[in-house]
Structure 1
Amino acid sequence: MNKQLKTMIAFIVISLCISSSLAGQTAVYASPPSIGTNAYASAIIDVQSGRILYSSNGDVETRIASLTKIMTAIVAIEHGNLADKVTVSRRAAGKEGSSIYLKLGEEMTLSNLLYGLMLRSGNDAATAIAEHIGGSEAGFVFLMNQKAEELGLTHTQFRNPHGLDADGHYSSANDLAKLTAYALKNKIFAEIVKTKYKQAPNPYEKWNYTWRNKNKMLNMYEGADGVKTGYTKKAFRCLVSSATRNGQQLAVVTLNDGDDWRDHQKLLDWGFKHYPLSHLAEAKQLVPGSNLVYGTGFSYPLEESELDKVKATVALLDQRSVHYSLGERGRMNFYLDGEPIGTVPLYEKGSARIKMLDSRAAEESFTQFQKLNQQQEGWLNKLKSWFK
């Protein structure tokens, strides 16, 4: 029996061991309790994994009001230069609905326009952004729909960048959840939507623009960090919120919900309680019965009864492959009910790649130490100034 075949057999055993350790002793688990809302459609998604944890009328196509601006913002961030000066056109300055009160010919950076877009839901900001990035509103809408197709949002179609009611302009709770999960992985987007208060230069007054975020969840829910409100007379109240607890970020979507603030708190609580992150692999952890270690950690949101449904198998790499030459030896593939949920690269214990991970971890620890020192020095200087 050759060495590679022996290794393969060992990995099959390892796979079974991993499945057994996840399952524990045989037990009967209760399914999570059902939950209802006042929304016409709703969804909960785990941001990192993209797993939809709850959905009601999730694929029904309906009006979404200013939740449209989630797509407007991410397209602008990906296609634009935040430092660009955007000149406000007559069309943008005169846009009806919610506004940050831009004036014809006014110049504002794309960065500040994005804050006005997401904190105050400015339709004038949306139009100015669209014309700047897309050359015209129609050109920008093309980019929006192109992005929707790229993300696999099959129940979404845009007709404008602001969300005012228009025939053929719609999305669904599930699609908005997927879009939000994608957008929140962008650091610029995530920073904007969690901002409670923003000032921007106002060229026509002695005082700055002052924008307070319309998203009350930022003050109502522990760990809240986004995302967007919406309302029109036909779409009614729409809301996307997000929150992070214990290293897990969830996003909730409700469409046409007269009690959205309360429903979002309830849905977030339900998601965190019943679908916490299960840590299936830790970086540098030794794979039982081998000299291989995980190259990265891997966590996945699992309901208690799903723990014994997780399986893990190893795929060995061809020694002639590029990845093998770069140090990777195999991949641990994780499945839930037979469906793939994640993959972790495997490396030899003590290899150059693992030493690199150790070096990077040490560097990050030193950087954190430096930041802490700087903070302490700042506090000391403040104390000294108070006692002068």
Structure 2
Amino acid sequence: MENTLVKTRLYRIIVLAMVMTLYYHGISLGSVPPHITAESAILYDKNTGQVLYEKNSKEERPPASTTKVLTGILAVDMASTDEIVKISKHSASIGEASIHLTTGEALSVHDLILGALIKSGNDASVALAEAAAGNENYFVFLMNRKAFLLGAGHTNFINPNGLHHNEHFSTAYDLAVIADYAMDNPIFRDTVARKTAVIPENNTTWKRYLKNTNRLLGQYPGANGVKTGTTNAAGQCLVASAARGDRSLIVVVLKSYNRYGDTVKLLDFGFNDFKEVSIPKGTVVGRMYFPDGKPHQVDLLTTEDFNLTVNTKEILSLEKRLVVNRPKKLPVAEGKVLGNLWINLRDKELKIPVTVKTKVESMSIKEKLEFHLASS
């Protein structure tokens, strides 16, 4: 097969439109990441899975109560929210941050999820573990397995609440990946977006009024989650999420000396200095000529949606080329992949498969003669 580099005016127009779109939205030239106090941090684009900024993001650290992001989503995945749970002596005995559970009281899984994710109740987290898996130890095993399956390979949890243990750790990157998964679930997402909640009275206690420990909610435009964490060893920690329009960002800061200030800086950086470039499936990126084909010219289309988050510095350094393989013989089936649109970003090479828009038949001898006579 002949390897052909196809450069068309239409393709250049598409690339120019991508650049113009970025400038239209006001990305600043030469954007500089903000200075933050956190010892580990990450700015993560939820739509594309790209890391837009990182600082020691794969360094293992105690995550404190940000552990409960995985506790909450795993409980949502495993247990019915309507299930009534009888609180054990063990879960009621868990101290520090708590919702003051008492042995023998009955609460729904939904109530415990509120207590764990909004109030950051350590006791509620253990009660959720017992409800979902039968006992805390097995639930923790499932937490670690889930983290591994999600790609959070530097996470090891000893308990479901984040109370300090030397072998209980995660990374900013891993917590972003876990939060990405969790925020896809509507029950989890709706819970962590609530500033307040009420657990109704039950057989032993009065109503519990809960206030979310995440102070970004209602204060930062678009903030919609997710979880705070603080211990002496971990320092100030925060997993935060915010959405504006079609964009959604996740920030994780660990061992911060100003977690809200750091998070706001990173979210502002993500929303103001980065934009998402989209090439929808079916975009015409070139045209191929078939001298003996019917038709003679066929548009080349992208076969899948492509989304990439870039800043101005990156868009100026993007290299784009269309490489296709000319078939040796006809016919060519509609939808046959002939090559790729390649996009180079820094040290990464990304590709979008390219296909012919319509079927290309082979001309008969009579049709070839008629065509060449008409062309001469």
Query: TM-score range with shorter-chain normalisation?
Result: 0.7 to 0.9
Q: Are the counterparts in 2 of residues 218 and 225 from structure 1 also a CA contact under 8 Å? A: yes
Secondary structure at 2:261 match in 1:
helix
CA distance in 2, matches of 1:59, 1:177: 11
Deviations 1:3-31 (A, max 9, x none): xx79x85x84469936854568xxxx953
Q: Are the counterparts in 2 of residues 295 and 347 from structure 1 also a CA contact under 8 Å? A: no
CA distance in 2, matches of 1:344, 1:133: 43
Q: Are the counterparts in 2 of residues 15 and 314 from structure 1 also a CA contact under 8 Å? A: no
Q: Which deviates further from its counterpart, 198-207 or 42-51? A: 198-207
Secondary structure at 1:174 match in 2:
helix
Partner of 1:244: 243
Partner of 2:314: 306
**CA shift at 1:170, angstroms?**
0.6
Secondary structure at 2:256 match in 1:
coil
Partner of 1:148: 147
Q: 1:204 to 1:223 in 2, by over 3 A?
A: same
Residue 336 (structure 1) aligned with residue 330 (structure 2): no
Q: Normalised by the size of structure 2, how large is the TM-score?
A: 0.78
CA distance in 2, matches of 1:129, 1:230: 18
Q: Higher helix proportion, which one?
A: 1
Q: Which deviates further from its counterpart, 213-222 or 281-290? A: 281-290
Q: Which deviates further from its counterpart, 332-341 or 50-59? A: 332-341
Partner of 1:31: 30
Q: Normalised by the size of structure 1, how large is the TM-score?
A: 0.75
Q: 1:16 to 1:347 in 2, by over 3 A?
A: closer
**CA shift at 1:186, angstroms?**
2.2
Residue 17 (structure 1) aligned with residue 16 (structure 2): no
CA distance in 1, matches of 2:62, 2:30: 32
Q: Are the counterparts in 1 of residues 11 and 285 from structure 2 also a CA contact under 8 Å? A: no
Partner of 1:44: 43
Q: 1:167 to 1:348 in 2, by over 3 A?
A: same
CA distance in 2, matches of 1:345, 1:190: 36
Deviations 1:47-102 (A, max 9, x none): 12111111112121111100000111122122222222222111111111111122
Q: Are the counterparts in 1 of residues 6 and 286 from structure 2 also a CA contact under 8 Å? A: no
**CA shift at 1:346, angstroms?**
6.4
**CA shift at 1:187, angstroms?**
2.3
CA distance in 2, matches of 1:150, 1:245: 29
Q: 1:347 to 1:87 in 2, by over 3 A?
A: farther
Q: 1:343 to 1:191 in 2, by over 3 A?
A: farther
Q: Give the AA of the match of 2:306.
A: F
Unaligned runs of 5+ in 1: 319-324, 350-388
Residue 76 (structure 1) aligned with residue 79 (structure 2): no
Partner of 2:56: 57
Secondary structure at 2:242 match in 1:
strand
Q: Are the counterparts in 2 of residues 277 and 302 from structure 1 also a CA contact under 8 Å? A: yes
Q: Give the AA of the match of 1:302.
A: V
Q: Higher strand proportion, which one?
A: 2
Q: Give the AA of the match of 2:180.
A: A
Partner of 1:168: 167
**CA shift at 1:173, angstroms?**
1.4
**CA shift at 1:206, angstroms?**
8.3
Q: 1:170 to 1:341 in 2, by over 3 A?
A: farther
Q: Give the AA of the match of 2:236.
A: R
Partner of 1:235: 234
Deviations 1:86-130 (A, max 9, x none): 221111111111111222122222222112111000111100111
**CA shift at 1:152, angstroms?**
2.1
**CA shift at 1:254, angstroms?**
1.0
CA distance in 2, matches of 1:98, 1:263: 24
Identical aligned pairs, as a percentage?
32
Q: Which deviates further from its counterpart, 259-268 or 118-127? A: 259-268
**CA shift at 1:305, angstroms?**
2.0
Q: 1:303 to 1:239 in 2, by over 3 A?
A: same
Q: 1:287 to 1:16 in 2, by over 3 A?
A: closer
**CA shift at 1:224, angstroms?**
0.5
Secondary structure at 2:248 match in 1:
strand
CA distance in 2, matches of 1:198, 1:248: 27
**CA shift at 1:176, angstroms?**
1.3
Partner of 2:123: 124
Count of aligned pairs: 332
Trace 1:103-122 onto structure 2 (pairs within 5 A).
103-122=102-121
**CA shift at 1:311, angstroms?**
3.5
Q: Which deviates further from its counterpart, 81-90 or 37-46? A: 81-90
Secondary structure at 1:218 match in 2:
coil
CA distance in 2, matches of 1:156, 1:282: 36
Question: Please, what is the CA RMSD of the aligned residues?
Answer: 3.2
Q: Which deviates further from its counterpart, 204-213 or 248-257? A: 204-213
Q: Give the AA of the match of 1:264.
A: T
CA distance in 1, matches of 2:189, 2:195: 12
Q: Give the AA of the match of 1:202.
A: E
Deviations 1:232-269 (A, max 9, x none): 12212111111112311111111121211122111110
Q: Give the AA of the match of 2:169.
A: Y
Q: 1:103 to 1:255 in 2, by over 3 A?
A: same
Q: 1:23 to 1:66 in 2, by over 3 A?
A: same
